[in-house]
């Protein structure tokens, strides 16, 4: 291994590098095992995975910065956007590198819409459960971030929004669902509040966007959250989450094409020719476009339904298993396959949920810690581990010691 921080004086042979990485990676978290709960969505479909590897390597070096140079990428992107528009009934759709970039674009569009009506000190209203991409976008884009407390059910409280909204509100945000508790905010109410104040409403469906349409088609109760709700002006939905593509691709959707035009950047006041782009990225890698196109084309509605059914089986199994263990409970009443569970304050059995997480870690589970408990995000592959999880969790709750006090990290920074 090279010393950290030293630029290699001489290159190393490929075989040696690959051997080193293979050996090191063998100790990394194995997301295919069903014992990891975030960051990677385990589709448990070797054929789809092989297809993704193939198309990613096929387009590994292509750049979609100028889509007219790589016409196969152009065709795939156009078809992909058509599929996405029809799935969500959107007026316009675009790609980005991930949920955070899609959210940045929605906030930038809202900021510029507000400026067009004379608001130069814009603010954004959301529930305190909204993803950190919102305060981050606000920080970068000069928008005041105003998170509001949620109600007892973990959902945004429309009364708080009605009180807080002002002439300066550039964007009202709802989550479908929120990351911490997996609950869908009351989108109809929030969109109506935004619309009667003459402002925009964004639904952050980064997490649920590509699962909710199929969840609904399975007959599950799904509260209104998409463009069928009047007043919803934009939606973010990540293909690299429940869209089941590998990382690097999200979609940003608008009800109206005019709104999307706020993202357009064109520049020719330099000697290098016309530069035009619709998102924050300049160079755009080929693999996410090819991967998203191939994934959606291969799965189709029937494939997404099949996978949604597996997620539902896993969700039912995990939830009923947790419900059956005295001393713990699922927080709120999640609408989807993402949730928190923690100590049940109404139970006479005292449970230190951090210590339960430690025992689960020791047994090879990798549950993320939140302030109020442990976080679960279920993929299709989790339907294989329901019994093992519930059995280990039962043991961990019955027999836990002192919490080791592990961190609450959701994201991290590499020091340089
Ligand atoms: C609800 C929600 N919004 C936004 C994001 C941000 O997505 P990304 O990590 O792809 O930038 C996430 C990520 O988990 C999320 O759960």
98 CA closest ligand 1 atom index: 10
Q: What's the rounded Cα separation, in Å, for the pair 162 and 315?
A: 34
Q: Is the peptide bond before 13 cis (omega within 30 degrees of 0)?
A: no
CATH number of 301-396: 3.90.1150.10
pLDDT at 67: 84
pLDDT of 244-259, one tens digit each?
999 999 999 999 999 9
Q: Give me the mean pLDDT over the 389-400 stretch.
A: 96
Q: What is the DSSP letter of 351?
A: -
Q: Give me the mean pLDDT over the 7-36 stretch.
A: 96
Task: Give the long-range contacts of residues 7-16, CB within 8 A, separation 24 or more.
Answer: none
pLDDT at 414: 81
Question: What does 145-204 look like in DSSP terms, one character per residue?
Answer: EEEE-B-TTSSB-HHHHHHH--TTEEEEEEESS-TTT-PPP-HHHHHHHHHHTT-EEEEE
CATH number of 51-298: 3.40.640.10
In the numeric block, the tokens 């993402």 are attached to 338
Q: Give me the mean pLDDT over the 268-283 stretch.
A: 96
Q: Give me the mean pLDDT over the 87-113 stretch.
A: 98
Q: Using alpha carbons, select from 65, 84, 180 the residue that is nearest to residue 128.
A: 180
pLDDT at 3: 58
- Given pLDDT bands bounded at 50, 70 and 90, which one contains residue 411? confident
C-alpha 83 – ligand 1 centre gap (Å): 22
C-alpha 239 – ligand 1 centre gap (Å): 11
Share of the chain above pLDDT 90, in %: 93
User: Which residue's CA lies nearest to atom 5 of ligand 1?
Assistant: 99
By the 8 A CB rule, do 376 and 360 touch?
no
pTM above 0.85, yes or no: yes
Ligand 1 test: best mutation among 37, 95, 98, 100, most atoms within 8 Å of CB? 100
C-alpha 397 – ligand 1 centre gap (Å): 30
Q: Give me the mean pLDDT over the 36-40 stretch.
A: 92
Residue 65, pLDDT above cutoff 70: yes
Ligand 1 test: best mutation among 138, 207, 336, most atoms within 8 Å of CB? 207
Share of the chain above pLDDT 70, in %: 99
Ligand 1 test: best mutation among 98, 104, 105, 133, most atoms within 8 Å of CB? 133
C-alpha 335 – ligand 1 centre gap (Å): 17
Q: Give me the mean pLDDT over the 107-119 stretch.
A: 98
pLDDT of 198-241, one tens digit each?
999 999 999 999 999 999 999 999 999 999 999 999 999 999 99
Q: Give me the mean pLDDT over the 170-191 stretch.
A: 98
Q: What's the rounded Cα separation, in Å, for the pair 207 and 378?
A: 11
Query: Tokens standing for 234?
Result: 């934009």
Q: Give me the mean pLDDT over the 358-381 stretch.
A: 97
Q: Which residue has better confidence, 65 or 401?
A: 65
Q: Do domains 51-298 and 301-396 have the same CATH topology?
A: no
C-alpha 216 – ligand 1 centre gap (Å): 21
The structural domains of the chain, with segments of one domain joined by +, span: 51-298, 301-396
Ligand 1 test: best mutation among 99, 104, 181, most atoms within 8 Å of CB? 99
38 CA closest ligand 1 atom index: 14
pLDDT at 416: 65
Q: What's the rounded Cα separation, in Å, for the pair 289 and 296?
A: 11
250 CA closest ligand 1 atom index: 10
- Given pLDDT bands bounded at 50, 70 and 90, which one contains residue 1? low
208 CA closest ligand 1 atom index: 1
- Window from 67-71, 365-369, 393-397 with minimum mean pLDDT: 67-71
Average pLDDT, the chain: 96
């Amino acid at each position: 291994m090279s010393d950290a921080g030293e630029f290699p004086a001489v290159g190393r042979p490929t075989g040696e590098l690959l051997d080193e990485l293979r050996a090191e990676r063998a100790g990394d978290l194995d997301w295919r095992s069903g014992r990891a709960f975030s960051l990677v969505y385990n589709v448990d479909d070797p054929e789809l995975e092989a297809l993704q590897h193939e198309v990613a390597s096929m387009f590994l070096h292509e750049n979609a910065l100028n889509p007219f140079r790589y016409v196969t990428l152009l065709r795939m992107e156009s078809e992909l956007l058509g599929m996405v528009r029809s799935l969500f009934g959107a007026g316009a759709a675009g790609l980005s590198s991930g949920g955070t970039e899609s959210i940045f674009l929605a906030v930038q569009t809202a900021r510029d819409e507000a400026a067009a009506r004379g608001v130069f000190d814009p603010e954004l209203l959301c529930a305190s459960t909204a993803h950190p991409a919102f305060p981050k976008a606000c920080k970068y884009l000069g928008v005041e971030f105003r998170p509001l407390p949620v109600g007892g059910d973990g959902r945004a409280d429309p009364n708080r929004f009605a009180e807080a909204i002002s002439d300066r509100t550039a964007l009202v945000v709802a989550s479908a669902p929120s990351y911490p508790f997996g609950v869908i905010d009351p989108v109809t109410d929030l969109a109506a509040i935004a619309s009667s104040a003459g402002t925009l409403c964004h639904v952050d469906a980064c997490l649920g966007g590509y699962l909710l349409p199929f969840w609904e088609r399975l007959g599950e109760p799904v509260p209104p959250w998409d463009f069928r709700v009047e007043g919803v002006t934009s939606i973010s939905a990540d293909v690299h989450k429940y869209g089941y593509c590998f990382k690097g691709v999200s979609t940003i959707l608008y009800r109206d094409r005019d709104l999307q035009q706020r993202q357009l950047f064109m520049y020719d006041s330099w000697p290098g020719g016309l530069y035009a782009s619709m998102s924050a990225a300049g160079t755009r890698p080929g693999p996410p476009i090819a991967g998203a196109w191939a994934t959606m084309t291969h799965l189709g509605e029937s494939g997404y339904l099949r996978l949604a059914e597996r997620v539902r089986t896993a969700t039912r199994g995990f939830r009923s298993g947790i419900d059956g263990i005295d001393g713990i409970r699922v927080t709120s009443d999640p609408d989807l396959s993402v949730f928190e569970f923690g100590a049940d304050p109404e139970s006479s059995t005292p449970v230190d949920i951090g210590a339960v997480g430690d025992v689960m870690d020791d047994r090879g589970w990798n549950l993320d810690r939140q302030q109020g408990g442990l976080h679960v995000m279920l993929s299709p592959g989790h339907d294989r581990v329901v019994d093992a999880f519930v059995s280990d969790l039962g043991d961990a709750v019955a027999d836990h010691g002192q919490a080791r006090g592990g961190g609450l990290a959701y994201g991290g920074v590499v020091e340089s």
